Structure 1
Amino acid sequence: MTTASPARGTALPWSGLLALSTAAFTAVLTELLPAGLLPRMAPALGVSEARVGFLVTGYAVASFLAAIPVTAALRGLPRRPVLIGTLLGFACADAVVALSSSYAVTFGARLLAGVMGGTMWAMLAGYAARMVPAERRGRAIAVVLAGITLALSLGIPAGSALADAIGWRPAFGTLAGLALLVVVWIRRRVPAFPGELPGARVPLRRVAVLPGIPAVLSVTLFLLLGHQVMYTYVAPFTAHTGYGRTDVVLLVFGAATVVGIWATGALVDRWARSTLLGALTLIVTVMCVLALYAHSPAVLLTSVAVWGVAFGGAPTLIQTALVNASGPQHADVATSLQTTVYNAGIAGGSFTGGLALSGWGAGALPWTALPLVATALAVVVLGRHTFPTAPDAGPPTTPRSNTPLQDRPAIPPPPAPTPSASA
């Protein structure tokens, strides 16, 4: 079932956006669920817990390597079949994990899932942007990316609890079934969009240097570097403060990210630049407070809550800036670049935090994260044209509909790109 072209001033296409959000939820669960099931999966697969942990690593590496080339190879195909294909790939991979007793087969299934993940993440934001008029683009992206936050804060604990109750194999089987249900949902409620026509495809290297894209990718990299320095080693830092309750700290952070993405959805379409500046400023401030005053439990938990609110909204704000810079027609390729940079930031931040922890101790972690996040803030401050106060309100891309061709209004060609100063 498809919908007609979105009209300005109409309500958001909630069913379609929630279908995309559930797809994101499914992808995150597929990626991270093994991390909470190491002791259960290791005996069944006949390997150590460390090797089961490599199932998460293999997924991430495959996603990192596949995002750009697979997205570039598929950019000419109709978008909905590609999205459905990635979900069917998740369903197959999760079903194999649920049934396999071979570590090698299971690892191969995880590599397949990683390729599907890299492809899906490159599509979701651009798909959401094409479903709504430009003035609602940020809110649509926020709805879709909320699936990530809900998966991290609620889905992973719920998946681990389900595995405790019925076993880890049925848990992966349930995840495969969820992917199939989302396929049906997307087929019925998400509009079909064409792929890029051969004459309209901008080479990947030209997309990468469109005005604003390098600055947005820089902000993505430095924010993730700084965030992961702290988040990866939150347990030793919590112990360093004397509080010791890592579970409470993570719970506070997870709940706060839900608040952050909700608040961002309400603000992003009217005050995108100011909200992003505020979020990054809050994270910089939190790193300073954690470095100086985290030995007080009240200060620690309050700071973590503020950090969660600020970081929960930051990906939506950055993703919206990326789509605004690339235009929805090039969003898949631009987002594939961001997916690669995002994963590089996660890996680099974890590595950098490990060096700081081993060299100077947990107390050095906030000081290590501070200049990295401050660099991201500086890029936004200097990039007034890269991070404007509102998106370009150009005409949204029109999905295919069941309306006869002769009855459809004429669709104006996309506007030619206009020169814009970058950061």
Structure 2
Amino acid sequence: MSTSQTELRADSSAAADDRKLPWSPLLALGTAAFMGILTEALPAGVLPEMARDLSVSESAAGQSLTVYAIATGLSAIPVAIATAAWRRQKLLLVAVLVFAIANTVTALSSSYPLTMVFRAAAGVAAAAVWAELVAYARRLAPPHLQGRAIAITMAGIPLALSLGIPIGTFLGKVVGWRLTFGLVALVSVLLLAWIAASVPDFAGQKAGARAPILGGLRLPGVVAVLFVVAAYVLAHNVLYTYIATFLDKYEMGGQRDIVLLVFGVASMVSIWITGALVDRKLRALTAGSTALFIVASLLLGVLADNVAVVYLAMTLWGLAWGGVATLLQTAVTDAGGDRGQALLVTTWNSFMAGGGAVGGILLTAAGPESFPWVVLALLVPVLLVVVGARKHGFPAERPGAQ
């Protein structure tokens, strides 16, 4: 399978013709995204209990998230190369099976090193899932609906963050963190059956047709999109990772759950808007998302001591963030095909992991009040790149869109 835009469009058209969106396979793919994020971030909601049972500090238990993110970022390109010839459904099934096994081991293990090994394995599986979702969505949908298909598959990400993790945290308090991970493993097994029954299979790449992934950096627009991915994801994670600390600074720690709920609801609204418009308004939506996040960071930097302003800023931030995964996945795949997708997975997860590290340094050196200003410094160049990349990267009209 070549990654040229002509062949991508031909392959997608052959698979989808002019049919309507195939909801069952797309929702199965969205559930795979949901499980990837839930598996990654669930420890954050049960960290004290997990640390106690594994006989480690909360800081050490927190590395279960870092290990997962680093494994995903570092393995994205090697996994894409190693599995290029696999049947696509087989690859997806193996990845979800690893989620099920890793969550089962986490639920049962009393060994910290063993738990970390399987957390890393789950991170590698996530790299395979992220690399497949967009390609699958594009092949299942007619060209003029590909952006909407990507939005459906990517909806699992904010759904997991805004609903899945809070529910997992609640269950952890009610039935214990181990049983909660066991339930996640069970859902993964059910997802295996759904994918096997609903998601069509596609051939992998022939050896002679495989283009070097790093060669995707030379394709017009790819570097611009990856810069936006790096800076935007870093900005988001610097603030989001330490949002509890930021709220505590302004005596809003007791309202943390409500603040995050507002953020989550706004993110879901953003997903709906993005799904409806991404095929026709990719450039405008990306610029608008960045602008909303800039305004939110300004409000948090200047007026964070005002409760109403904080809620307004969180609403704007949620509206900005909810559709970002869909927007950037669509942009990089338009520009670089499968190679661009693999590069995005590496970039996204590397800078997601880096957000926690950078935020920790800022917290020690300048305090939580510095976060909004660092976010602002990262996002202004992002907006300039989105506006400037009008020919390649973020064109006014997407290739193949009607």
TM-score by length of 1: 0.87
**In structure 1, C-alpha distance between the alignment counterparts of 2:57 and 2:366, rounded to whole Å:** 31
* Residue 252 of structure 1 pairs with residue 262 of structure 2: yes
RMSD over aligned CA atoms reads 1.9
The residue that corresponds to 1:154 in the other structure is 163
Superimposed CA distance per residue, residues 115-171 of structure 1 (whole angstroms, 9 cap, x where no aligned partner) = 111221111111111111121111111111110111111111111222223222222
* Residue 346 of structure 1 pairs with residue 352 of structure 2: yes
Contact in 2 for aligned 1:326/1:334 (Cα 8 Å): yes
Percent of counterpart pairs with the same letter? 45
Superimposed CA distance per residue, residues 264-288 of structure 1 (whole angstroms, 9 cap, x where no aligned partner) = 1011011111111111111112222
* CA 1:305–1:168: 2 relative to 1, 3 Å: same
Contact in 2 for aligned 1:89/1:116 (Cα 8 Å): yes
Structure 2: stretches of 5+ with no match in the other structure: 1-13
Contact in 1 for aligned 2:70/2:353 (Cα 8 Å): no
* Residue 36 of structure 1 pairs with residue 45 of structure 2: yes
Shift in Å at residue 321 of structure 1?
0.5
Q: Which amino acid aligns with 2:336?
A: S
Q: Which amino acid aligns with 1:374?
A: V
The residue that corresponds to 1:83 in the other structure is 92
* Residue 285 of structure 1 pairs with residue 292 of structure 2: no
Larger CA deviation: 162-171 vs 208-217: 162-171
* Residue 377 of structure 1 pairs with residue 383 of structure 2: yes
Contact in 2 for aligned 1:133/1:393 (Cα 8 Å): no
> Is the helix fraction higher in 1 or 2?
2
**In structure 2, C-alpha distance between the alignment counterparts of 1:110 and 1:56, rounded to whole Å:** 8
* Residue 72 of structure 1 pairs with residue 78 of structure 2: no
* CA 1:174–1:235: 2 relative to 1, 3 Å: closer
Q: Which amino acid aligns with 2:89?
A: R
Contact in 2 for aligned 1:227/1:373 (Cα 8 Å): no
* CA 1:348–1:172: 2 relative to 1, 3 Å: closer
* Residue 393 of structure 1 pairs with residue 396 of structure 2: no
* CA 1:367–1:7: 2 relative to 1, 3 Å: same
**In structure 1, C-alpha distance between the alignment counterparts of 2:168 and 2:311, rounded to whole Å:** 26
**In structure 2, C-alpha distance between the alignment counterparts of 1:354 and 1:101, rounded to whole Å:** 29
Contact in 1 for aligned 2:74/2:350 (Cα 8 Å): no
* CA 1:197–1:394: 2 relative to 1, 3 Å: farther
Q: Which amino acid aligns with 1:189?
A: S
Give 1:49's match in structure 2, choosing from 45, 55, 58. Answer: 58
Larger CA deviation: 151-160 vs 354-363: 354-363
Contact in 2 for aligned 1:129/1:323 (Cα 8 Å): no
Superimposed CA distance per residue, residues 378-403 of structure 1 (whole angstroms, 9 cap, x where no aligned partner) = 111110122122321189xxxxxxxx
Give 1:321's match in structure 2, choosing from 321, 325, 331. Answer: 331
Superimposed CA distance per residue, residues 165-201 of structure 1 (whole angstroms, 9 cap, x where no aligned partner) = 3222222221111111111111111111111122221
* CA 1:349–1:92: 2 relative to 1, 3 Å: closer
Give 1:119's match in structure 2, choosing from 102, 105, 128. Answer: 128
Q: Which amino acid aligns with 2:54?
A: L
Shift in Å at residue 242 of structure 1?
4.1
Contact in 1 for aligned 2:232/2:379 (Cα 8 Å): yes
Matches within 5 A, 1:121-200: 121-200=130-209
Secondary structure, counterpart of 1:390 in structure 2: coil
* CA 1:267–1:49: 2 relative to 1, 3 Å: same
Contact in 1 for aligned 2:297/2:373 (Cα 8 Å): yes
**In structure 2, C-alpha distance between the alignment counterparts of 1:318 and 1:326, rounded to whole Å:** 12
Structure 1: stretches of 5+ with no match in the other structure: 396-423
The residue that corresponds to 2:3 in the other structure is none
The residue that corresponds to 1:408 in the other structure is none
Secondary structure, counterpart of 1:75 in structure 2: coil
**In structure 1, C-alpha distance between the alignment counterparts of 2:109 and 2:324, rounded to whole Å:** 38
**In structure 2, C-alpha distance between the alignment counterparts of 1:97 and 1:59, rounded to whole Å:** 13
Q: Which amino acid aligns with 1:272?
A: L
**In structure 2, C-alpha distance between the alignment counterparts of 1:190 and 1:347, rounded to whole Å:** 31
Give 1:60's match in structure 2, choosing from 60, 69, 72. Answer: 69
**In structure 1, C-alpha distance between the alignment counterparts of 2:241 and 2:49, rounded to whole Å:** 23
Superimposed CA distance per residue, residues 181-227 of structure 1 (whole angstroms, 9 cap, x where no aligned partner) = 11111111111111112222111121232111111100000111222
Give 2:233's match in structure 1, choosing from 219, 224, 227. Answer: 224
TM-score by length of 2: 0.91
Structure 1 segments (4+ residues) deviating >6 Å: none
Give 2:275's match in structure 1, choosing from 236, 241, 265. Answer: 265
Aligned length, in residue pairs: 388
